[in-house]
With several copies, the nearest count.
Chain A
Amino acid sequence: MGPSPRGTSGHSITRGVSLYSFQEEFFLRTMALRDAVAAAAGMGATDIEIIPEQSIAGFPHVSDAWVAEWHGLMAEFGTRPLAYDFFLDTLLHPHRRLTHEEQVASVRRDIDLAVRLRTPLLRAIISTPAAVLRDAAPYAEAAGVKLLLEVHAPFHYQHPWVLQHLTVMDELDSPALGFMPDLGCFVERFPRVVSDRALREGARPDLVALVVGTYDAHGDTHGLMDTVTYSGGGPVDVALARQATHFTWRDPRSLLEQMHRTHHIQAKFYEMTEDGTEYSIPYDRIVDVLVEGGYRGCLSSEYEGNRHIQDAYPVDSVEQVSRQHAMFERLLQGHEDGRG
């Protein structure tokens, strides 16, 4: 069920696409599911990650016809279903939070659907309480799927919230629990698609330079909103400063800490440039770390640049994801001489 090692090659990393990447086209109905799978296959991706709440009208009621179409597409394009991203709507009702039992039931519902879609991995959204995964784990184990906590910025393996999950994982020692890092944790440079949009919306160039410069120097973003306010910045400037506190940079080697529990990776990106690199995330060093750690799993494209350019530019998610896959291929190639 896991990705298959490539025999003589020096790594065991496969390439995949999360359909999250095509949210712009799905939203505007310019691409349908078939187009998306065809596009992924066309760039040599073998693995498909799906967000059912995005791709399946009528969710959580999914017809057998829809499931049959899904598997038909996989067969037709030679791809395999790999991951299923679930949400957990603890605030479903206006005046009360879902009980623990209702939360576990929500995860079980998603496991049932994952079994139908044949996705062996489930993305547990970072907000999922450790106790909920603990109590859903036996069901997942019986179903032969894994529940993988998406470790998303600003979280990390020493964070109090993630430590609660680690405690459960240590106690339960279940093959059904693990992690799925989102590479948005490793934003080394401030994404220029974000600062460029602020400029289009009237941000002051000197304040944009201050925010970007502070972030890029990995300086103290505490008080950055205040600094922008004191400098006479307006709402757009202050919002940019706030965004600088939402991105995080940490050493990609921190991925090694839980490599034995890492079964999937969401390869978040904001902008693949024309020269084939990601503007803000150091994919070259990240891939080196993954190979060094013996990561066996998928790099699953998660394009999130559309929201930052859609106001002014046409969005071409397929082109962006294609560039990322060309980069993956180039970087993985460097490890296919058996030295990994």
Chain B
Amino acid sequence: MFEKYVIVPGTLRNTVAEGRSTGYEIGVRMPYYRGLALSMVEDVALTVDGVRALAEATTVTVHGNSYRLTELGAVTDDRWELGEVAVVRVAHPGGLAPGEHDVEVVQRLRISYMPVPGGGRARAVVELSD
């Protein structure tokens, strides 16, 4: 469901602090037909060019509010809305090289009425934007 729309083209960028690339970020949608409290987002795992981002190095930002991926379980009072493009940031000193990158996003959602986890896997080649 909605796999095609999970990875948002044109949103892959390096993050920069004091003139240095500290990592990268990309816009990601949730593959589900309603919004969900962040406490039910069990994982948003990014893999770029075969290198999997550590959960500890990942943050998720929805409508301006940033959370560490590892701390989402406690966030019952904020939501990832339907179709909202969240910004997923990964601390990765040096950032990504210019050009195209193979991006994979695996999401695991805890949907109360499903006996198995929700979510899904999306993969796309994305060009690094400035």
Residues in chain A within 8 A of chain B (CB atoms): 20, 23, 26-29, 51, 53-55, 57-59, 87-95, 125-127, 225-226, 228-230, 238, 307, 310-311
Contact = CB atoms under 8 A, between A and B. Distances in A.
Contacts of A311: 3-4
A88 B3 CA distance: 25
Interface stretch (B53-61, B79-87, B95-103): B79-87
Interface residues of B, number: 26
A126 B82 contact: no
Contacts of A89: 37, 40, 112
A23 B34 CA distance: 8
A29 B83 CA distance: 8
Interface string B36-47: 110110100000
A94 B42 contact: yes
19 contacts: A23-B33, A27-B5, A28-B5, A53-B35, A53-B36, A54-B34, A59-B79, A87-B112, A92-B37, A92-B39, A92-B112, A95-B73, A127-B112, A127-B113, A226-B113, A228-B115, A307-B2, A310-B5, A311-B4
B35 A54 contact: yes
A94 B110 contact: yes
Nearest to A97: B112
A26 B82 contact: yes
Contacts of A226: 113, 115
A20 to B, nearest CB: 7
Nearest to A90: B112
B125 interface: no
Interface in B83-130: 83, 110-115
Contacts of A20: 33
Given A27-B5, A87-B34, A93 B82 contact: no
Contact of B2 (A27, A54, A59, A92): A27
Contact of A27 (B40, B73, B82, B113): B82
Nearest to A53: B34
Q: Which of B33, B79, B114 has the most CB of A within 10 A?
A: B33
A93 B113 contact: no
B53 to A, nearest CB: 20
B1 to A, nearest CB: 5
B1 A307 contact: yes
Contacts of A92: 37, 39-40, 76, 112
Given A92-B40, A310-B2, A125 B113 contact: yes
B49 to A, nearest CB: 23
B13 interface: no
B39 A94 contact: yes
Contacts of A26: 82-83
Contacts of A95: 73
Contacts of B42: 94
Given A27-B5, A54-B82, A226-B113, 8 more contacts: A51-B34, A53-B36, A54-B33, A88-B112, A95-B73, A228-B115, A307-B1, A310-B2
Q: Which of B29, B37, B113 has the most CB of A within 10 A?
A: B113
Interface in B19-39: 29, 33-37, 39
A28 B2 CA distance: 10
A88 B1 CA distance: 21
A54 B79 CA distance: 11
B115 to A, nearest CB: 4
B112 to A, nearest CB: 4
Nearest to B84: A57
Contacts of A125: 113
Nearest to A312: B4
Listed from nearest, the 4 A-B pairs whose CB atoms lie closest are A127-B113, A27-B83, A94-B73, A53-B34
A93 B34 contact: no
A95 B40 CA distance: 11
B112 A27 contact: no
Nearest to A54: B34
A95 B110 CA distance: 11
A150 to B, nearest CB: 10
Nearest to A307: B1
A58 B35 CA distance: 9
Contacts of A238: 115
B113 A230 contact: yes
B76 A93 contact: yes
